[in-house]
Structures are given as structure tokens and as C-alpha cells.
Structure 1
Amino acid sequence: MPARVEVSDVFRRQLAGYGLTTAEILYGMPDHTRLLQTYIWQDYDVAPEFPVLRKFLDFWQKSLDGPLFSVRIGHDRLIRPAEVRFRGTELLLH
């Protein structure tokens, strides 16, 4: 019997349509709002709705003092349907 291989949560999310999303967030410093600082956020999310990023930005606006100035988003699906190939092993998804 072949060894059972566990599939990571990140891989499952990619198969479900999630892609790597990077957001460059410019925000005003709390004490000096005219000075901008950059924060880089990265997680797996679904384009074009970006629910994970929206949840993070909602948290930012409710909990942090630095006002948001702009958000620039980069997104790419790392696994596309044509790129999934089986290499002599069996993949079981529940």
C-alpha cells in the first residue's frame, strides 16, 4: 500500500482558486499624517473580490491609527488547471 501523503492547506486553497496576493499599502503615520509609510501585505486570496485583503483592511481602519492613503494590489494564481499533473502518485482530496 502506498504511503499516505498529507496535502497542505495552502495547496488546497490554490486548487480552490486562491492565488498569491501582494498589497502595497501606503498609510499616513499616526502623529504626522502627511508623512507616508509603506506596509507590504501578502496572503492567498481570490481575485477580483479579495475577501481576505478586505477583511485585513477593515481591521486596519477599525483598529489602527494610521489612515490609509492607497492600496496597490498584485495577484497571480500559482496553479492553473493545465499545470496540475500527477507524477506516479495518487492525490486524495476530501
Structure 2
Amino acid sequence: MRENSELKLMLNGYGLTTARILYHFPDHPHLLQTYVWQDYDLAPKFPALFRFIEFWKTRLEGPLHSVTYTHKRLIAPNEWRKVDGELLLH
């Protein structure tokens, strides 16, 4: 069931966003830890990523140091075309 919803998201312009989050350990603020977050999101506003960052700031311990991200649309408009027929060769 999840695969179908992921395809719908991709067809509606969503792409896979991956964020690398560096944060300070709550008990040892001089140490940094890495957390990787990944979800489908809409560029350039990235509402899901910003919701997660707000969740982190309000609900989790460990202040953020930095967030770097990458975004890739998995289905581009030029990858879909109408096909009227199919020719099979043996």
C-alpha cells in the first residue's frame, strides 16, 4: 500500500529529501552526533523538513548544530510519455 502512495507523491512533484543533522549531545555539549532524516518533500519550500526541524527544537533534547540537505526528484516530467503501441522482436 505504501508503494502506491509514494508513486502518487512522486507524480505530484515530490522528491526524496535527505538531511544530515549534526546536534550537540545533551549531557556532553562539546560532542556532536549525526542523525540522518529522509522523507518525500516539495522543493523549494521543504515543508516536511521544516516541520521536522521544529519538532526537534521543541520536543527533543540536543541543540542543533547544523543541517545540510539534498533533494532529488525521482520522476522528472521528461521521463513520462504516451505510448500508442508496442512492437516486440524475437
Shorter-chain TM-score range: 0.7 to 0.9
Number of the residue aligned with 1:80 = 76
In 2, the alpha carbon distance for the partners of 1:40 and 1:87 equals 39
- 1:24-39 maps to which residues of 2 (within 5 A)? 24-39=20-35
In structure 2, C-alpha distance between the alignment counterparts of 1:38 and 1:87, rounded to whole Å: 46
Which 5+ residue runs of structure 2 have no aligned equivalent? 85-90
Q: Which amino acid aligns with 1:40?
A: V
CA distance in 1 between partners of 2:81 and 2:50 (Å): 33
How far the C-alpha of 1:85 sits from its partner, in A, is 4.0
Matching residue within 10, 20, 23 for 2:19: 23
Which AA in structure 2 matches 1:62?
A: T
- Seen in structure 2, the aligned counterparts of structure 1 residues 40 and 87 have a Cα distance that, compared at 3 Å, is farther
Q: What amino acid is aligned across from residue 50 of structure 1 in structure 2?
A: F
Matched, 1:61 2:61: no
Q: C-alpha separation between the residues in 2 aligned to 1:39 and 1:58?
A: 15
Please provide the CA RMSD for this pair: 1.6
> Which structure has more helix as a fraction of its residues?
2
How much does 1:86 deviate? 5.6
Distance in structure 1 (CA, Å) of the matches to 2:60 and 2:82:
46
Unaligned stretches of 5+ in structure 1? 1-6, 89-94
The residue identity in structure 2 corresponding to 1:69 is H
